[in-house]
């Protein structure tokens, strides 16, 4: 989502800047040579078409609703694309410490992969939840409790302000032991 925001924001900014530049050119041209025809935009024709519209007309309401929907979509993309940091405990009241969910997932993943019976592991973390999926050649039920203990130990060592929920699943993988 952040990629979409990084793509849309400059394009929207360039569009607004272009509309502003064209408007400035048209206004200056109309002031300097009032009898000339429009330079880039046929605004007299547009002015005549808009002059016949009322605020209560369906076209005006449709355009207003369309602009509102586009504005809400841009705002939604901006809100969803914000950075979701994991808050750590404050060393002093004046300092706020955060880390990325990727860093938390990496720390937990190293701990899970260091277990001798785990052959593969995938960890996804957010501020509220950590999901661990591990693969083993041994019976999954035996390894699951050990992996859960390792995840709990890793989270205890991390100075997290709020402890996230943890979901651990272990599946048997095919292979020769």
pLDDT tens-digit map of 137-162: 888 888 899 999 999 999 999 999 89
4 vs 153, which has greater pLDDT? 153
Count the helix, strand and coil residues of the chain and give each as a percent rounded to the nearest 5.
55, 20, 30
CATH class entry, domain 97-172: alpha beta
pLDDT tens-digit map of 101-136: 999 999 999 999 998 889 999 999 998 999 999 999
pLDDT for 81: 75
Secondary structure of residue 149 in the 3-state scheme:
helix
Q: Are 158 and 147 in contact (CB under 8 A)?
A: no
For the chain, give every domain's residue range: 2-80, 97-172
């Amino acid at each position: 989502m952040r990629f979409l925001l990084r793509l849309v924001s400059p394009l929207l900014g360039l569009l607004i800047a272009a509309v502003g530049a064209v408007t400035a050119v048209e206004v200056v041209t109309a002031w300097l040579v009032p009898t000339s025809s429009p330079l880039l935009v046929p605004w007299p024709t547009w002015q005549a078409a808009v002059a016949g519209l009322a605020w209560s007309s369906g076209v005006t309401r449709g355009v207003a609703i369309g602009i509102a929907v586009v504005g809400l979509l841009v705002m939604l993309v901006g809100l969803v694309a914000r950075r979701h940091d994991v808050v750590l405990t404050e060393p002093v009241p004046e300092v706020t410490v955060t880390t990325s969910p990727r860093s938390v997932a990496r720390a937990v993943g190293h701990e899970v992969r260091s277990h001798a019976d785990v052959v593969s592991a995938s960890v996804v973390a957010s501020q509220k939840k950590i999901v661990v999926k591990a693969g083993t050649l041994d019976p999954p039920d035996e390894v699951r409790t050990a992996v859960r203990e390792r995840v709990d130990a890793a989270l205890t060592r991390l100075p997290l302000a709020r402890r996230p929920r943890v979901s651990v699943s272990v599946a048997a993988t095919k292979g020769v032991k």
